[in-house]
Structure 1
Amino acid sequence: MKTELILLRHGETEWNALGLLQGHRDSPLSAEGLRQADALAARLSTLSFSALYSSDLGRAMQTAQRIAARTGHPVHSDARLRERGLGILEGLTREEASRQHPEIFGEYATNAPDFVVPGGESTSQRLGHAVECLGEVGSRHPGERVVVVTHGGVLSSFFRHSLGIPPSTPRAFSVLNACWNQFDYHQGAFRLVTWGDITHLRDDSLDDT
């Protein structure tokens, strides 16, 4: 039996709005991010699902907790769903990172999967954690629907992984805040069903909240 995994990106944070690299450092949801989280909660309140999982970083937990307040599910946090740690680049804009750490930022910007940012980790390390976690979740809930709140970098890497796209391929797709993505898990493999759905963010989707 397949497991339906609804993978969500957290709502917009204050650092997202400022264009700062976050990694493992955190920032609260902005006013827009709170609206986005509530829109996800409203959509999920009409959908039956078995469990709610989240990255343990504050921005993901804040999004998941607003969903939980509407649906009644406990939030199961897991550090393996975290965003990639960006070490010395965290808290900087891309322009600042390029100016202050040109060689490191240059390597980071190439999408080299095994490049470890000083004080952080590589894309392949973070993807390995996420795939392990999502595989366990899929095996734990056969024939069920599960919701997972995670991060843009994780989703971007997981998208490539599931479709067999080389990880160093430049990103030619969007990973928007509060986007809704569905993958089915069956016999150890993931299959993309829906990507980048943000229909719940239309103003009229909040009429019943």
Structure 2
Amino acid sequence: MTTEFILLRHGETEWNAQERLQGHLNSTLSPEGLRQADALAARLATVRFQALYSSDLGRAVQTASRIAATTGHTLQEDARLRERGLGILEGLTRTEARQRHPDVFAEYAAGGPDFVVPEGESASQRLRLAMGCLEELAGRHPRARVVVTTHGGLLSSLFRHCLGIPPATPRAFAVLNASWNRFDFDAGSFRLVSWGDVSHLRGSSLDDT
């Protein structure tokens, strides 16, 4: 009954390039992000998969729409796949956030899973929403491969969850734009299979049919 999830981070946005915190606010894909989205689409054109889902935030939808245009799949959006809401920190660079909201930014940077950013949410709240969504999708698509376009913070939380890395441990792994990450769901739990694959961005492709 294993469901294979290919979880993709959206392409680079204008705010990614400026190192601004996005959360639930949105920034359009940069020219590089559009190239990355098209590279994901080209790779997925060689892969059989049953369904395509996305966060409902614009940068994820923009990435997934380019995939759908290439593969012919119907794109289905779900707000549970969003990035963590960062409230009063959204739209600020890390330097600006540190200057304007020093106490809040310090708590956010410390990585505590249950810290709720004012007007936002905690990492654990967002992870619970996303895992509930993915479990529901696994029930909808048993023994299938499903592609999901989502966000870096959420992927980071799921990575830590699967490997048992404490949420507040300083991050020693990358979460790259347009990265290809595989998680399998079976018997009520997630298993990390591969992480951070960006071979498609180097002009190579993987025939995973």
Q: TM-score, normalised by structure 1?
A: 0.97
Give the root-mean-square deviation of aligned CA atoms: 0.8
CA distance in 2, matches of 1:113, 1:200: 32
Question: Structure 2, unaligned stretches of length 5 or more?
Answer: none
Seen in structure 2, the aligned counterparts of structure 1 residues 85 and 194 have a Cα distance that, compared at 3 Å, is same
Question: Structure 1, unaligned stretches of length 5 or more?
Answer: none
Deviation (angstroms), 1:203? 3.7
Runs of 4+ in 1 over 2 A off after TM superposition: none
Structure 2 residue aligned with 1:142: 142
Structure 2 residue aligned with 1:48: 48
Please give the residue correspondences for 1:37-76 in structure 2 after superposition, counting only pairs within 5 Å: 37-76=37-76
Please give the residue correspondences for 1:184-199 in structure 2 after superposition, counting only pairs within 5 Å: 184-199=184-199
Q: TM-score, normalised by structure 2?
A: 0.97
CA distance in 2, matches of 1:164, 1:140: 27
CA distance in 2, matches of 1:40, 1:6: 11
Letter in 2 for 1:13: T
Please give the residue correspondences for 1:158-197 in structure 2 after superposition, counting only pairs within 5 Å: 158-197=158-197
Please give the residue correspondences for 1:1-209 in structure 2 after superposition, counting only pairs within 5 Å: 1-203=1-203
CA distance in 2, matches of 1:167, 1:141: 29
Letter in 2 for 1:164: G
Letter in 2 for 1:173: F
Deviations 1:147-172 (A, max 9, x none): 00000000000001112221111111
CA distance in 1, matches of 2:75, 2:164: 31
